[in-house]
């Protein structure tokens, strides 16, 4: 079966880009399961029930998240209730939501695990110990992992740690697609960062002039989501009967221009 993973959707431009591009992606790649990172879907930071439902309506089967998942307090009840939305599993266990979910696709039970990096981000437990514990008790045919991490070395280490045990490790969070996508020797599809779904005329999805003003003047600046030249970025893996990857393909396509 084929899994399509879409990188961090940034604000309404990213949601629009995904919505308008998904029909062509489905026609070209015929994915059996679509996983979308939505942690920046609400105004460029966080997720709400409305923006999550927008992603589901666009074709997401499961939504992953990251360090901004709790930005909007009004979304906590939805995060707790929605079984197809996951937050990092190595957050405190009493926090709203779940760290992994299992869904059915193409007649197989697929686990989607969300982890946060422990370097430069705040977590309750090691992502390595956490994923080991999850995999030890998992009732699924195979698993894919969204590793939302700051540091490339930690992402690469996670890929090697899970090689041969999960179908894919997709790195997210830094919004810039990396060139190391491949199938590792043990059969795990891996990429340090799949990139973002949002404006390329931006600094990680934010209007460039605003980021430059803050960096140069070092004064508080209100950030707004950039809207021009939206691209959809992600990756595909073909998963065999053993629950491992036979093929990895990076996805980077421009969204239709806004009228």
Q: 90 — alpha (psi -120 to 50), left (phi > 0) or beta?
A: alpha
Give the three-class secondary structure for 60.
coil
Grouping H, G, I as helix, E, B as strand and the rest as coil, residue 203 is strand
3-state class of 200 per DSSP?
coil
3-state SS, residue 143: strand
DSSP 176: S
3-state helix, strand, coil in the chain (%, to 5): 25, 30, 45
**Cα–Cα distance, 140 to 122 (Å, whole number):** 29
Within the chain, what is the greatest distance between any pair of CA atoms?
Answer: 55
Three-state SS at 212: helix
First to last CA, the chain: 36
29 classed as catalytic: no
- Which of these is catalytic: 68, 72, 100, 173? 68
Burial of 250 (0-12, 13-18, 19+ CB in 10 A): middle
Catalytic site positions: 68
């Amino acid at each position: 079966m084929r899994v399509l993973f879409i990188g961090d959707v940034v604000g309404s431009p990213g949601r629009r880009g995904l919505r308008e591009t998904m029909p062509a992606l489905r026609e070209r790649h015929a994915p059996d399961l679509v996983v979308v990172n939505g942690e920046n879907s609400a105004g460029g930071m966080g997720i709400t029930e409305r923006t999550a439902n927008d992603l589901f309506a666009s074709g997401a089967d499961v939504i992953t998240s990251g360090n901004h998942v709790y930005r909007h307090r009004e979304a906590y009840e939805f995060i707790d209730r929605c079984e197809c939305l996951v937050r990092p599993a190595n957050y405190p266990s009493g926090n709203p939501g779940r760290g992994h979910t299992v869904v059915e696709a193409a007649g197989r039970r697929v686990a989607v695990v969300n982890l946060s990096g422990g370097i430069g981000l705040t977590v309750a437990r090691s992502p390595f110990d956490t994923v080991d514990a999850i995999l030890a008790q998992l009732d699924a045919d195979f698993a894919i992992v969204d590793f939302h991490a700051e540091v490339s070395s930690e992402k690469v280490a996670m890929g090697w740690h899970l090689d041969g045990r999960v179908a894919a490790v997709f790195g997210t969070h830094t919004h810039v697609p990396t060139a190391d996508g491949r199938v590792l020797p043990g059969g795990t599809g891996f990429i340090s960062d799949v990139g973002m779904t949002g404006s390329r005329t931006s600094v990680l999805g934010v209007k460039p002039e605003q980021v430059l003003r803050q960096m140069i003047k070092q004064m508080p600046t209100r950030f707004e989501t950039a809207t021009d030249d939206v691209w959809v970025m992600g990756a595909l893996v073909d998963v065999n009967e053993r629950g491992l990857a036979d093929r990895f393909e990076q996805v980077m396509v421009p969204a239709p221009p806004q009228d």
